[in-house]
Amino acid sequence: MPILLAAIVFVLALVSLSLLAKGGKRYSWFEFFLKARDAGFTLAETRFFRETALELRLADPTNVFWSPRDLDRAIARLVERLAADGRERTREGIAFMDKVYALRRRIEFDQPRYTHGIRSSRQISHGQRLRLLVHGLGVFGSTVIDNNGRFLVLSYPSGARVPKDFIWKGKKISVYFWRRDDAGYVFDTYVIDDLRIRNVPVLHAAHSESLLRTQKRKSVRSRTSIPAYLYLLKRIEGAFEKPEREPGLRSRVDDLSEDGFAVTIGGRAKPGLQVKVQFSLEGRQIVMSGIVRNVDYDVEKNRSTLHVEAVQPSPRTRNAIRSYVYRIRAENGSSALASQSGGAEGGVI
């Protein structure tokens, strides 16, 4: 009996010392394997994942199953290791990274900012781009200049033509906007006043406490500034990823995700166009096709930003885009990007 008690005390002492050495952090590889199995990884894939977590010297390796920041670091390293082993473009390598990215997307959209959203127009950020629908006239573009407790201050709407005797004051409007890293919203309100502030025409719009949340984001994206060529398509059906030999319309990819992109061109464009964009991503030629869902037109600069919902890319192209997106987030810090909740958005991207 004394020997048994001594053994128990010895084991407890070792556990205590181990926890102290880890700063009180408690984790186990058994838990790591269980979480990996639940995420759909095979035993061999789990070992590879575990080795990568060890290389990164994470305080708790199981963080990769819930922490966007730690998983972004792991993704960047996994891509490097697969490329070094020549497995980046193999069927097994693509399938493995597809599971990793599925895990990353699930973690991302479990974040509170995606599940809760906003409920009042008082929470709309300065600089948020809006679309204003006036029944009988059309859709106008506007931006939130200021948001105070009494009303929204909006830039003067541009877009559809209005009659000479048209007056904004008192008009009922439907407001649509896409909140970055969140979802689309719509609400009805009315224009309180039409005036000038420091000789700049603006509108005052009444607040609403009845925002309807629509079109939740389906993929993680990254801000970019990549030169590209844009091509108009006669039909989206059968669009493929073969690069074009001739240059297209010069453009710039402003943001990118696995299921869409925003691209800026000179001149004015309309929603509904079927387009194809071609650009280089870390030395790899990327071709994506899709339908323009929304357009932001800058009157002063005479250029349009097209928000495109893409046809699902091939697994290889999809993983190349994901690799770029998550590497950028790992370098810049996921939390820094997540904190930017305002800005111009244009539908499903």
Domains of the chain: 27-109 (no CATH), 121-214 (2.30.110.10), 221-338 (2.40.10.220)
Q: What percent of the chain has pLDDT over 70?
A: 84
Residues 146, 166: Cα–Cα separation, whole Å? 24
**Taking 80 as the threshold, does the pLDDT of residue 126 lie above it?**
yes
Arithmetic mean of pLDDT, 141-152: 93
- Bigger pLDDT: 348 or 50? 50
33-36: long-range contacts, CB 8 A cutoff, minimum separation 24: 35/62, 35/65, 36/65
- pLDDT bin (cut points 50, 70, 90) of residue 137 is confident
Model confidence pLDDT, tens digit, residues 282-319? 888 999 999 998 888 887 788 999 999 999 888 889 88
What integer pLDDT is reported at residue 113 of this predicted model?
66
* Cα atoms in the Cβ-side hemisphere of radius 13 Å centred on 213: 15
Mean pLDDT for the chain overall: 83
What integer pLDDT is reported at residue 128 of this predicted model?
93
**Residue closest to 184 by CA, chosen among 218, 138, 135:** 218
What integer pLDDT is reported at residue 296 of this predicted model?
82
How deeply is 44 buried, as exposed, middle or buried, from its count of CB atoms within 10 A (0-12, 13-18, 19+)?
A: exposed
What integer pLDDT is reported at residue 144 of this predicted model?
95
What integer pLDDT is reported at residue 4 of this predicted model?
53
Model confidence pLDDT, tens digit, residues 333-344? 543 333 333 333
Model confidence pLDDT, tens digit, residues 257-270? 988 999 999 998 98
What integer pLDDT is reported at residue 11 of this predicted model?
46
- Least confident window among 84-98, 162-176, 210-224: 210-224
Model confidence pLDDT, tens digit, residues 175-231? 999 887 677 899 999 999 999 888 889 999 999 998 988 766 678 778 899 999 999
What integer pLDDT is reported at residue 162 of this predicted model?
83
Contact 280, 235 (CB under 8 A): no
Contact 257, 349 (CB under 8 A): yes
What integer pLDDT is reported at residue 233 of this predicted model?
92
